[in-house]
Structure 1
Amino acid sequence: MSTDEDALTAAGWHPGRDAGDLALSAALMTAAVVPSVTGIRAWALFPAARGALREFFGLTLRPVAAGTEVAATGCVIDPRTGRHALRALRVLGDTVGEDVFPLGRTDAGGLIAVTESGRLLCVDHGGRWFLGDSVEDGLHALTQGRAPRRIAPRRWTWAAPATHEDPLENAVRTALVGVYALHHRQLFGARALRLTVTALRGIGAEVLDRAVPLPGGSLDEFAAPLAARMRELVDAERAHLRSCALTVTVSAPEGTPAPYSSVSCAVRIGQSASTPNATELSLAAGAGTALGRPWEAVQGCVRDLDRYTGRTAGQGLRA
């Protein structure tokens, strides 16, 4: 066998396959498990899970090769193998913002589950993973050895260009680039910049933490007034940038739905005594942005900030 399609067909799958009552019985046995921990909800058998089980229940898949990107693995499609993993899969569901239902287990012991939108996910000793936009695609990925996407918080950092001599105004203008990118990619429309100033000496006390509203109009037009307002706030606290770390943060406004609410952009200056005028730009995104439209929007924002900073790829990607 030389193609991934052979792995599914060899296991007995074909378009239109229906395991019928056997799949329904296994699904009901799984859904009947009563949570043993307070606060954990019971399984919900939603349409995407029911459809996936009717099509794939009872299959035992074997990898067809060593793997194109990572080690290929097989799996068994039987929800009963994961019916007692309520806590682990509920945490996974809460992370991606969808209910999940167990689908089976990989040869390496990982739990595979289907989401309400029909995506295939996995939880194993290495973390939480997105396998495919559909169950079929996810099973292809497993048996081919295509690399899964980790479901975890991410953060990108860049060295921002110096567009203005005043480091505070440079930080504000850089933050406004983040405001534009987040709005352009339809993540959210920011309503304020949060200014935080922390002393670098002593115990590192926070001397200022204030939200400064964004006025209406062009970003270029109100950059200088915003910087002047922040300068007034800093001066009122008698803080000196050479002895402080200053952060300007662009966060989602109150009421922004998850997972978009987990995305933020920040600009830091003065974080190092040897380079007090250095400017660091960062973008952070929660684990829930690893799927679907949020993932595409965040990736678009990363590309925008890559272009602004003159990089071809985001630097410092880390979970």
Structure 2
Amino acid sequence: MPDLTSTRFPVNVDAALREAGWQPGRWDIKLAEEWADTLRAHTSPAGHRHAVFPAVVEAWAEFGGLLVTPPGHGRQIAPAPLRFDPLAGLHLARTLGDLGRALDTELAPLGEEGENSEQRAILAMDTEGRVYSIDHTGDWFLGRDIDAALATLVTGTQPTRLTTAP
């Protein structure tokens, strides 16, 4: 018999996800494939293209379309709503490509964080499933996988700023 008292996520993260419409086993591969096709077909005016890979397609299939509203004030920073829609990063192929090269990986858009365009950050995932946030203040590491990143974002834990070597 399954253990119904334990969850994959911390309790407050699980509650925020369920409030947004997520449930264990949620899987919309059709939507994920549509997004993958749209991103693959997009080329920036300068010729930059998006990377699409299994880890990000799986994240889109599980969380795609959700708007997650954090339930509290946050541990260290104020958490912001998250929207899982990679098309929020459609026109950032160069930005994601540049950061991916700096990290020696590829990045794909995952969605966005923030309530308005002035405070918005783009969420991205690399080929290993690690999650990042890119905003006007810098580039941030959110977690080694989507679960850790969601815990960071929903609980308002301070993410780690990425730095470049001298």
TM class by shorter-chain length?
A: 0.7 to 0.9
4+ residue runs over 6 A deviation: none
> Which residue number in structure 1 is paired with residue 8 of structure 2?
none
Secondary structure in 1 aligned to 2:112? strand
Which residue pairs with 1:119 in the alignment?
130
Give the aligned partner of residue 239 of structure 1: none
Q: What is the Cα deviation at residue 140 of structure 1?
A: 2.1
Q: Deviations over 1:10-65 (max 9, x none)?
A: 11112221012122112211221112115x3x112111111111111011010111
Contact 2:106 2:127 in 1 (8 A): yes
Equivalent residues in 2 for 1:1-319, closer than 5 Å: 3-38=12-47, 40=48, 42-107=49-114, 108-153=119-164, 286=165
- Partner SS state of residue 84, structure 1: helix
Identity across the alignment (%): 33
Distance 1:130 1:72 in 2: 15
Q: Is the partner of 1:143 in helix, strand or coil?
A: helix
Structure 2 CA distance for aligned equivalents of residues 19 and 113 of structure 1: 19
Task: Judge conservation of contact 2:22–2:66 (CA < 8 Å) in 1.
Answer: yes
Structure 2 counterpart of 1:301: none
Q: Unaligned stretches of 5+ in structure 2?
A: 1-10
**What is the number of equivalent residue pairs in this alignment?**
152
SS in 1 for 2:52: coil
Provide TM-score, normalisation by structure 1: 0.46
RMSD of Structure 2 on Structure 1 (CA): 1.5
Residue by residue over 1:123-142, the C-alpha shift from the partner in whole angstroms, topping out at 9 and shown as x without a partner, is: 00110000011112212211
8 Å Cα contact 2:56-2:108 kept in structure 1: yes
If the length of structure 2 is used for normalisation, what is the TM-score? 0.86
Q: Distance in 1 between matches of 2:146 and 2:99?
A: 17
Larger relative contact order (Cα-Cα within 8 Å, sequence gap ≥ 6): 2
Letter in 2 for 1:70: I
Distance 2:92 2:72 in 1: 30
Distance in 2 (CA, whole Å) between partners of 1:61 and 1:35 is: 29
